[in-house]
Structure 1
Amino acid sequence: MWDSYLKHFKDYLMLERGLADNSVEAYVRDATKLSEYMDLLGGKDLTEVTELDILGFLGYLHDLGLVAYSQARMLSGIKAFFNYLVLENVLKVDPTQLIESPHLSRSLPDVLTYPEIIQILEANDVSTAEGARNRAMLEVLYSSGLRVSELVNLQITNCYFDAGFMRVIGKGSKTRLVPIGGDAIRYTLLYIEHIRSLVEVQKGHEDYVFLNRRGKQLTRVMIFLIIKNLVEEVGLKKTVSPHTFRHSFATHLIEGGADLRAVQEMLGHESITTTEIYTHLDREYLREVVTKYHPRA
């Protein structure tokens, strides 16, 4: 009976829910794992599965060493399966409806304050070729929230500075249009026109915006080292990486009142829940206000 309904479940996800192939496979795999666990208990039919059985399955996953995130992801597939069975009137009651996902502690990213961002930007000596290039790169990182891989792969033909946008190639070769601020445009154009134009560009690297002294595309490691040296120079005690600029971009936008959906689009996040980790500063501030001023705090 399990095999038959797992097959129907897969068809439902594909045809009625219209989920991507990867999501369909993951959901079916999760439900299949539960059926395998039931086999270990003596081959319980899916109509006999109880809430205690599913809690036992989660405990079994924990004993196998699966972290809370993996358990929660697997539980979401199982919940989808039993929700389908209720929709099809195979079951009257969903045994998963009262089961909560394992608690997930999402690590909050390091964030730079705006004055700290300015400190790092201004630590670049723009009178030198290297300093002018690095100032432009970091202006772009903070202005547009790019991933380091997106920065090193940024191409001149994808920069529409007159319109204030860049076309960025992100994860999974997905492209998106990202706004770029005035300061980032100004420093990048200065670099392209006065520094990059004097570099002997190597074959195959003609379209990359940011180049090293040998005329080749910069590497991710080089960006990390540039930022590490600047942070040491200004004396910041935080752990700062290219991703810190991305986190700061998102946090400062949301602190300023930007819509989560807009920030999600700019960051290239597929899920809004990924973007929601950037709301932590607002929540911390609200907690501080309550603690300080509420008579019952």
Structure 2
Amino acid sequence: MSVLVVGSVNVDITVRASAIPAPGETVLGPAAQVSPGGKGANQAVAAGLAGAPTALCGAVGADAFQEVALRGLRRAGVALSDLHRLAEATGLALITVDPHGENAITVASGANAAVGPDHLPSTLAGISHLLLQQELPEAVTLAAAQQGRAARVRVVLNAAPARVHADLLPLVHHLVVNEHELEAMAGPGEHAAQAARLLARGPEVVTVTLGARGHLTVTGSQTLTFPALAVPVVDTTGAGDTFCGVMTARLALGEPLDRALRAAGVAAALTCTRPGAQDAMPDWAEVQAHLA
């Protein structure tokens, strides 16, 4: 079966610097890298590279940045019939990466902010998994989830950034958060207990990504924990998006939850070994080699 991603499309402008600047501080870097990004586009690229037929619903501007924004999607074979070209500028993300691979990101939403529920596809025929994030307007994400539930499609939500409409979680089958988003949504506590509190609000599965400490997943009957693949970290940009896209793709292809989660963790780690987001994502053959 196939994956539909409803989400943002950006161009990333990345500077590698000696440190992430503090308020009021100027930090110098040698050069800027201009590359495709946006959480929706990133996750669609990851899903496509992981082998699942994948489509993207989102928007770019009718400007020079759109070609950069679409480069990775085309490389991954993502279907773009539901991609809209709007009057607003293509979204931009300004990213600073420090020598340890950590990053700070500021996003200018541009065309992403102009996407409305009327831009969603009229049917989800042939779609088994709907992958959502939180960089589009809240009304779009909610309407997409409602459409997915009504069509009996598995709804996967990456709650990033961690602002969730009260009506959204009951529509979600699988919630993915990092530990900061987890605490914002569930309050302080031990990760499995926090995830269990989110289960009580509607999702059937909650996955928590923990960076270098791996990831854990809680369902109504089990807790699955996975260590991170040890890799030399160059840049963590896009690792979480890789995780979400690969996990959803492998689930759509019929793999059991534990195998899909393991593959997602390996793919996310491999993304950290190269600079950039989409440009750093591994193809399925590379993931398989490390799984073996």
Asked if these proteins are the same fold (TM beyond 0.5), I'd say no
| More strand, by proportion | 2
Q: Shorter-chain TM-score category?
A: under 0.3
Larger radius of gyration: 1
Larger helix share, 1 or 2: 1
Larger relative contact order (C-alpha < 8 A, sep ≥ 6)?
2
